[in-house]
Amino acid sequence: MNVIFLAPNYPSEMQHYTRGLAEVGARVLGVGEAPLESLPESLKGHMASYLQVPRLLDEDDVIARVEQWTRGHTIARVEGLWEPVVILAARLRERLGVAGMSLHTVRGFRDKQLMKERVAAAGLRVPHSAKCGTEAQVRAAAEACGFPLIVKPIDGAGSADTYRVDSAEELDRVINAVRHIRVVSVEEFVDGEEFTYDAICVDGKPVYENVAQYLPRPLIARSNEWISPVIITIRDLKQAPIAEGIAFGRKVVRALNMGTGFVHMEWYRTASGEVVFGEIGCRPGGAHLVDQMNFTSDVDLFREWARAVCHRRIMTSTPRAYNVAIIFKRAQGQGRISRIDGLEAFGSRYGKYVVADTLSAVGTPRRNWKNTLLSDGFLILRHPEFAEAKRIAEAAATQITLYAE
Ligand SMILES: Nc1ncnc2c1ncn2[C@@H]1O[C@H](COP(=O)(O)OP(=O)(O)O)[C@@H](O)[C@H]1O
Ligand SMILES: [Mg+2]
């Protein structure tokens, strides 16, 4: 079975999906920008063939090249799990006559306004919003919406260029700050807790599901450098508030006519208990969320995704044994990591719960915390009780400090 996989090396977890495809028997035809020689041996070993293209995001050019490259071969699937290539994957499927989600369907996962319209049309609660291409439209939408409100790019990621606006003065400032963005969404600010709904679907039916909680909400985590953002997968999906989010997620998946593959949705739960739609992608969550899911159930979802894509099923029964927390650390100061305080004490108390530690070693240059949630490294820990997992994660967040100079 020939499977075209776009961007097999970037972001780095794509190498795991490439491996997964090879492990379930696919002949992986990789398409990426990096020269073949520069790719890790392990990745090369999982691909049957590789096409280097000058610019992966130049869709017309890539389509022409792939069409020529695959002429005379039968292609069974075209997949791409990196958000910027999901439209390209759909266009390639249409051009090559390969089964899978259409361009029309995938647009519903990429354009946040269209997404909300389709979800709302199914009778589901979405934030009131307006798509705005001019300053006048932003002002009119803000007038109609009232404060507080959110201004964000229509196709953003990682909370970049996203602003909460509480007053007319702030609106003026934010209008200036988003001038470089062509189209923004102005929307009602939804107050509440923030969760994910993640699923692997086969022909639209979720065959694996997960929920994780963001602590604090991503926009707050992204706006305050001193915070160590935490994300915790929730072991017990049957408890009432979580089950409601899952039921909501299933309806969203149906409303958007999801096919086969991963979805990563975000949803809010307000103080009154209402579930409100956030956003959804037809790809897995980033920032090691799939690693967290794997630690939650001791499974390999990189491979199970591949099995769903190639064989329309997954193998694993996935008992949820743990709540898995990831804690992202940001150093104080600039330059290189100079010392880490509190790590030894934390390790002696809670080391047995830690399953991954990538904290930047002394001497490592700081990463830009605005560009990557990974910041100056992270810890992953797990515990069967949610309250304990959260307490230990909070200890890692507050008692371990990296310094840079
Ligand atoms: N309507 C809203 N109400 C409250 N918070 C919001 C709203 N829209 C976005 N946010 C905040 O901004 C973050 C980023 O927005 P989101 O729509 O998830 O875009 P992305 O994650 O693609 O940047 C959300 O996780 C949430 O914390
Ligand atoms: Mg988001």
Say how many C-beta atoms besides its own lie within 10 A of residue 37's C-beta: 7
CA–CA separation, 295 and 282 (whole Å): 22
Q: Using one digit for the tens of pLDDT, what is the confidence trace for 296-310?
A: 999 999 999 999 999
Q: Using one digit for the tens of pLDDT, what is the confidence trace for 242-286?
A: 999 999 999 999 999 999 999 999 999 999 999 999 999 999 999
Percentage of the chain modeled with pLDDT above 90 = 96
Give residue 364's pLDDT band: very low, low, confident or very high (50, 70, 90): very high
| Residue whose CA lies nearest to ligand 1 atom number 22 | 157
Give, for 48, the enclosing helix (H) or strand (E): none
Same domain, 199 and 287: yes
Give the domain CATH number at 158: 3.30.1490.20
pLDDT computed for residue 157 by the predictor: 86
Same domain, 228 and 109: yes
Average pLDDT over residues 58-85: 98
pLDDT computed for residue 315 by the predictor: 84
Same domain, 204 and 281: yes
Give the domain CATH number at 10: 3.40.50.20
Place of tokens 């690693």: 291
- Which of 188, 216, 238 terminates a domain? The answer is 188
Task: HSE, CB side, 13 Å, CA atoms: give it for residue 68.
Answer: 7
pLDDT computed for residue 317 by the predictor: 78
Give, for 337, the enclosing helix (H) or strand (E): strand 337-341
Q: Report the nearest atom of ligand 1 relative to the CA of 190.
A: 3
| Residue whose CA lies nearest to ligand 1 atom number 2 | 189
pLDDT computed for residue 127 by the predictor: 97
Q: Which residues pair with 163 in a beta bridge?
A: 151
Same domain, 337 and 393: yes
Query: What are the tokens at 209?
Result: 């599901």
134 has a pLDDT exceeding 90: yes
Same domain, 115 and 224: yes
Which of helix, strand or coil describes residue 403?
strand
Q: Report the nearest atom of ligand 1 relative to the CA of 192.
A: 4
Domain total of the chain: 4
125 has a pLDDT exceeding 90: yes
Which of 115, 126, 150 is the best mutation target for the ligand 1 pocket, counting ligand atoms within 8 Å of the beta carbon and taking the most?
150
Pocket around ligand 1 at a 6 A CB cut-off: 127, 150, 152, 156-160, 162, 187-190, 194, 217-219, 266, 278-279
Range of the domain at 275: 104-121+191-321
- Ligand nearest the Cα of residue 194 is 1
| Residue whose CA lies nearest to ligand 1 atom number 16 | 159
40 has a pLDDT exceeding 80: yes
Same domain, 298 and 359: no
Same domain, 354 and 265: no
pLDDT computed for residue 302 by the predictor: 98
318 has a pLDDT exceeding 90: no
Mean residue pLDDT of the chain comes to 97
- Which of 289, 305, 321 terminates a domain? The answer is 321
pLDDT computed for residue 371 by the predictor: 87
Give residue 158's pLDDT band: very low, low, confident or very high (50, 70, 90): confident
Q: Where are the beta strands (DSSP E) in 7-136?
A: 27-32, 49-52, 77-80, 129-132
Average pLDDT over residues 10-28: 97
Burial (0-12, 13-18, 19+ Cβ within 10 Å), 212: buried
Same domain, 250 and 311: yes
Q: Which residues contact 92 (CB under 8 A, 6 or more apart)?
A: 4, 6, 62, 63, 66, 78, 98
Task: HSE, CB side, 13 Å, CA atoms: give it for residue 223.
Answer: 10
- Ligand nearest the Cα of residue 115 is 1
Same domain, 198 and 291: yes
| Residue whose CA lies nearest to ligand 1 atom number 20 | 157
- Which of 321, 345, 371 terminates a domain? The answer is 321
Average pLDDT over residues 56-74: 98
- Ligand nearest the Cα of residue 216 is 1
CA–CA separation, 282 and 292 (whole Å): 19
pLDDT computed for residue 260 by the predictor: 98
Q: Are 262 and 81 in contact (CB under 8 A)?
A: yes
Give residue 333's pLDDT band: very low, low, confident or very high (50, 70, 90): very high
Average pLDDT over residues 125-151: 97
Same domain, 231 and 280: yes
Say how many C-beta atoms besides its own lie within 10 A of residue 395's C-beta: 17
Strands 27-32 and 2-6: parallel
Same domain, 242 and 298: yes
Same domain, 255 and 265: yes
Give the domain CATH number at 289: 3.30.470.20
316 has a pLDDT exceeding 80: no
Ligand 2 center–CA 279 separation, angstroms: 6
Task: HSE, CB side, 13 Å, CA atoms: give it for residue 52.
Answer: 9
CA–CA separation, 365 and 391 (whole Å): 30
Q: Which residues contact 239 (CB under 8 A, 6 or more apart)?
A: none
